[in-house]
Amino acid sequence: MAKMKLNRRALSVKHGVSRDVMRHALNCVKVTPKECIATDGRILVKVDNWEHQDDDAEGEVLIPPSVLKFIEKMFGPASMQLPVELEEIDGKLRVKGFDDSGEITLTACNLEAKFPEYEKVVPKDTEHVFTLDVKLMERIIKAAKAASVTALSFRTQGDKYKAMEIRGIGSGCVEFKAIIMPWRKGFEH
């Protein structure tokens, strides 16, 4: 049995869900009272879910993408902070939330799959920590796409206050580089 709330911002993990319908354990979002996790086997997206939890919150559920779409459509976008309630009873997932007209309840089948033990692949200690502004990364990715780059590699000289070089790998003989400079005090990359 599982009982918890799902913070709507945690729906952002849906971007990490596998699109391979044959990989049932990856074609869902794992929700616990503490976090929401999705992976396609290559990337892993994890968002805290502890906000608004009741003291008796427990268990875990696997939510398929179709139910995530329904939650977002019926209860509003992920930017809304009001949580929806999740409860798993006898293999059925009950989702309860509120919209402008009142309470809405959805009942769906809980997935019968085992989510991968992702904790084993998450690095425990890292030598270098990089903090990149999302808007800056969007600009770099836009430039890389325009240059037909298909992959980016990140390099630094080990000091977090030195420039970081991002090189592009793609088809043809185009060389793509982006250099991120530590331009303000306290900036870490």
State pLDDT tens for residues 159-189. Answer: 656 677 777 777 665 667 777 766 554 444 4
- How many whole angstroms separate alpha carbon 138 and alpha carbon 127? 25
Residue 81 has pLDDT above 80, yes or no: no
Determine what percent of the chain is predicted with pLDDT higher than 70.
81
pTM: 0.73
CA distances 73 to 90, 121, 131, 188, Å, are 26, 33, 32, 37
Cα 6 from Cα 8, distance rounded (Å): 6
| β-pair partners for 106 | 95
How many Å apart are CA 184 and CA 153, to the nearest integer? 24
What mean pLDDT do residues 11-18 have? 83
CATH number for 2-120 (one of 3.20.20.70, 1.10.10.60, 3.40.720.10, 3.10.150.10): it is 3.10.150.10
More confident residue, 163 or 31: 31
Lowest mean pLDDT among 20-24, 56-60, 65-69, 184-188: 184-188
82-95 pLDDT, tens digit per residue, is 688 889 888 888 88
Residues 6+ apart with CB under 8 A from 188: 129, 130, 131, 160, 161, 182
Angle at 175 between CA 172 and CA 181, to 5 degrees: 155
**Which residue is associated with the tokens 């398929």?**
64
Q: Give me the pLDDT at residue 153, please.
A: 80
Q: Using only C-alpha atoms, what is the Rg of the chain?
A: 20
Q: How far apart are the first and last CA of the chain?
A: 42
Rounded Cα distance, 24 and 115, in Å = 9
Structure tokens at 159: 């000091």
Domain boundaries, the chain: 2-120, 134-180
Query: Mean of the pLDDT values across residues 48-69?
Result: 86
